[in-house]
Amino acid sequence: MSDPNSQLDAQGKLKHFLTIEGLNRGLLTEILDYAEGFLGVARQAVKKVPLCRGRVVANLFFENSTRTRTTFELAAKRLSADVLNLNISTSATAKGETLLDTLRNLEAMQVDMFVVRHAQSGAAHFIAAHAAPHVSVINAGDGRHAHPTQAMLDMFTIRRHKGDFSRLRVAIVGDILHSRVARSQMLALKALGVPDVRVIAPRTLMPAQVEEAFGVSAYHDLREGVRDADVVIMLRIQHERMNSALLPSEHEYFQLFGLTEKRLATARPDAIVMHPGPINRGVEMDSQVADGPRSVILEQVSNGIAVRMAVMSMCLGAQNLHTQGQGEFNG
C-alpha cells in the first residue's frame, strides 16, 4: 500500500484517504468544494442528510484523541451512517487476537469503513491493504506519518478566510520533526499552490533536508518566520518532548517560540492564527492570542465535521447523491 495512488479506485475516485502525498490539486479542491455543501447541515433543525444511510463506520482508535474521534463520529452520524466505536484497550486485540482477526470479524458484521488512528506510522496503509474490497479506510493519524483530514480541514479554513492559495504566505510553528499534522499540511499547501510555506522550530525539532523534501523555507527565529505571513499555524508540543534532550523547559520554549500578540505583530494585520488542538496555553501561545480576534481555532473544529463528512461520503461513493440533492442539503 506504499503507492499513494492506491487510494483511488479504477475510475480515479477516492476509495481510501490515507495521505495527502500523491493526490493532485484537482482532487484536493474537489474535497474542499464538496465540504462547502455540508456546512449548512449544522444549522438545520435535523442535523442529518441521508447519504450514507445503511452504511456502517467503525472507529478504530488505537491511540487516544477525543476531539478527532468525536468529530468523525458526528460526521458519520450526520451522514446517517451507523457508527461503532471500539475501545481497543479492552478489545480482543488486548487479549491476543491479531489486528487482522479483528478486521475480519468486523468485516463479517458488514462494516463499510474503518477510521483508523494508530501510534505506528503506516498502520492505516496496512489495514487498507488487507481490508476486503468493499471496505474504505480513512487515516485519522498514524505515528509521525500523516493526518490527512486535519490538513484538509485546515486548508478549508484557510480558503474560507483567504480565498486564493496562490498568493499566500503560511507559517507552521512548532515540532516539525515529529508532527504528522505538519507533514500533511506542507504537502497540502504545496499541492494547492501556496508559493511561500515556512516552517519554524528549534534546530532539535526541525527535520534534516526539510526544505528540499517539501519545498518549504526553514526558520529558527519566530518573528522572522511569521513576518508578513497571512496564516500562522501553531503545532501542539507533546509534553514528553519536554522531558527529553530535544527541548528546554516549557517556560524557555514559550520565551522563544510561543506566540504572543507582540510576536504576531510582524505578521500581516489580517493574519489568521490556527492550531490543531488541544492547545497548551502558555507553551505554544498565550490566551490573548488563542482567544483573540485573529484566532480561528474553534472554526477549525466546526469545519472539521464538514470536511470529514465530505471525505467519508466520497470514499463510500455517495458523492453523486449529494450533488443531485445539493439544494436540499444546503437548507
Catalytic residue check, 117: yes
User: Which of 117, 145, 198, 308 does the annotation list as catalytic?
Assistant: 117
β-strands 56-61, 82-87 pairing = parallel
- The residue behind cell 495527502 is 20
CA distance 7 to 20: 10
Residues annotated in a binding site for carbamoyl phosphate: 67-68, 117, 147, 150, 277-278
Annotated binding site for L-aspartate: 95, 180, 236
**In angstroms, rounded to a whole number, what is the distance separating the alpha carbons of residues 131 and 272?**
40
Q: Give catalytic status of residue 95 as yes or no.
A: yes
Residue 82 main-chain phi, psi, to 5 deg: -90, 140
Q: Which listed residue (78, 147, 198, 241) is catalytic?
A: 147
Which residue numbers belong to the known binding site?
67-68, 95, 117, 147, 150, 180, 236, 277-278
Q: Measured at the alpha carbon of residue 311, what is the angle toward residues 20 and 151, in degrees to the nearest 5?
A: 40
- The CA angle 309-294-274, to the nearest 5 degrees, is 45
Find the catalytic residue in 43, 66, 90, 95. 95
Concerning whether 68 is annotated as a catalytic residue, the answer is yes
Closest Cα to residue 257, out of 276, 240, 272, 242?
Answer: 242
**CB of 198 closer than 8 Å to CB of 230:** no
Candidate list 25, 47, 53, 67, residue with the active-site label: 67
C-alpha cell, 253: 520554549
Give me the catalytic one of 19, 68, 71, 102.
68
Tell me which residues are annotated as active site: 67-68, 95, 117, 147
